[in-house]
Amino acid sequence: MNREFMEAMYELSHERGIAKEVLFDAINTAVLSAYRKHANASAQNIRVEIDEKSGEINVYAQKTVVAEVSDPHLQISLEEARALNPNYQEGDVVEIEVTPQDFGRIAAQTAKQVVIQRIREAERDLIYEEFVNRQNDIVTGVVQRHEQRNVYVDLGKVEAVLPPSEQMPNENYRYGDRIKAYITEVRKTTKGPQVLLSRTHPGLLKRLFELEVPEIYEGVVEIKAVAREPGHRSKVAVWSRDENVDPVGACVGQKGIRVQTIVRELRGEKIDVIPWSSDIKEFIAHALSPAKVVAVYPNEAAKAARVVVPDQQLSLAIGREGQNARLAARLTGWKIDIKSETQMEQILAMEALMGPPLPPEEVEEPVPAAQAEPEEVRREEQPPVPAAAEAAPPATPPVEVDSELFDQLLAELIKGGEERKSAEEPEEVLQEEKGPSVAAGKDKGKKASGKSRKGEKLVLKDLRELEKLKEVLPAAEGEVKESPAEGEE
């Protein structure tokens, strides 16, 4: 190797951004491999020395000084070593130059492929390190081609891939289009680093705001949350560290120029910029914009909220196919149930009608074993109870009834039953005489006998009621007054 070759190596190191140590290490490895093939010295310990200024290459064989040589490729006798230098002792390592005469040409031919391969590997490592550090960042590239629904984008040093799942549904990627994309992942493969891009990731929207809004880039305004349905609509919650800076106004810009730039980059995707708030009620109300919210009833335990909106804005709050409510739920991280004022009134009326929920039934806790007393002790403490009292409930005290009043009522009931019976019999006899046939007379006779039995039942029923009355009526003198008229009734 000569000086021109070394200058070419330095220039290559500068252009490719590869450290010169990496290149010289590659040349060293290539020369060592070339010597082993040329001298058939695979079993020897070889050291290659390259002069970075002149480009001269020297090859040295390393041998150990021993008293008796068993392997001439790795060992040297003490006498031979002292012939080179009298200071050598057993166990020292002697370096003997073994550079061939025409080794420069052979080494250059053999080292060519090794150096090229090492340069490629070094470039791949550099590209990988560069894009790994740019992961979760935005890049600009040019569309190169389509292949199996994948879009390949040229990023300068590497060709990145935009998979179908990360492509926006309303975009057509044509050759030569310049697009901005979000780096989601960087993989190290045998063919070099593979960079995966996305046009649907919420981080793309966040990075675009950082590029267009200086307040966000400087840290005065902070993006707290992003919810996105790619190609259709997005919601961005912003917050300002400075009370004098309006976060929404800073992101929208004068006459909406800042947000319109982002909308054009995302091919017309609608963007709602809302103020972030630590108060969940206020944050949920802002998240449902452009709909106006009447009230918010949050449930901290379930992370759910019931939102009341005017009747005419119920559809606006829900959005087309529930899009507005869905984005608001993603933005806040809460479940949102939207009700109109009329629906809420009906719910409140129903809750008022049903009343508050019943408290849970109290379950008697078992007595711990340490506190439980023996059954014999508990029985001794309780007073003895008669067997009759345990078997039957306590009876009510007997009630005395006036016997004269009872006999009078009984006579009147019997008399009334006989009168009803005698009044029914003549009519039945007349019906039997007027009957056209014997069968009809039999039927009527059956009806008459039924009526007579009915009268007897009425008498028996009255008697039973009177017996019950005898048990219930109080027997105090003067409480019951005799009244013939009432008895007849």
Token code pair at residue 436: 């056209």
Per-residue pLDDT at 488? 42
User: Read out DSSP for 18-82?
Assistant: --HHHHHHHHHHHHHHHHHHHHT-TTSEEEEEE-TTT--EEEEEEEEEESS-S-TTTEEEHHHHH
30 and 114 Cβ atoms separated by less than 8 Å: yes
Sheet containing 270-275: give its strands across: 221-229, 233-240, 270-275
The tens place of each residue's pLDDT in the chain, 489 residues long, gives 556 667 777 777 777 777 777 777 877 777 777 777 766 655 567 777 777 777 677 778 888 888 888 877 778 888 888 888 888 888 888 888 777 666 666 666 666 777 777 778 888 888 888 899 888 899 999 999 998 889 999 998 889 999 999 999 888 899 999 999 999 999 988 888 899 999 999 999 999 999 999 999 999 999 999 999 998 999 999 999 998 999 999 999 988 999 999 999 998 999 999 999 999 999 999 999 999 999 999 999 999 999 999 999 999 999 999 999 999 999 999 999 999 999 988 888 887 877 655 554 444 444 444 444 444 444 444 455 444 444 444 444 554 555 666 667 667 666 665 555 555 544 444 444 444 444 444 444 444 444 445 445 545 555 566 566 555 555 444 444 444 444 443
Q: pLDDT tens digits for 152-184?
A: 999 988 899 999 999 998 888 999 999 999 999
* C-alpha atoms less than 13 angstroms from C-alpha of 269 in its C-beta half-sphere: 25
For residues 78 and 66, give the distance between their C-alpha atoms in angstroms, rounded to a whole number.
Answer: 6
Domains, the chain: 3-126 (3.30.1480.10), 134-198 (2.40.50.140), 219-353 (3.30.300.20)
Mean pLDDT (the chain) is 76
55 and 6 Cβ atoms separated by less than 8 Å: yes
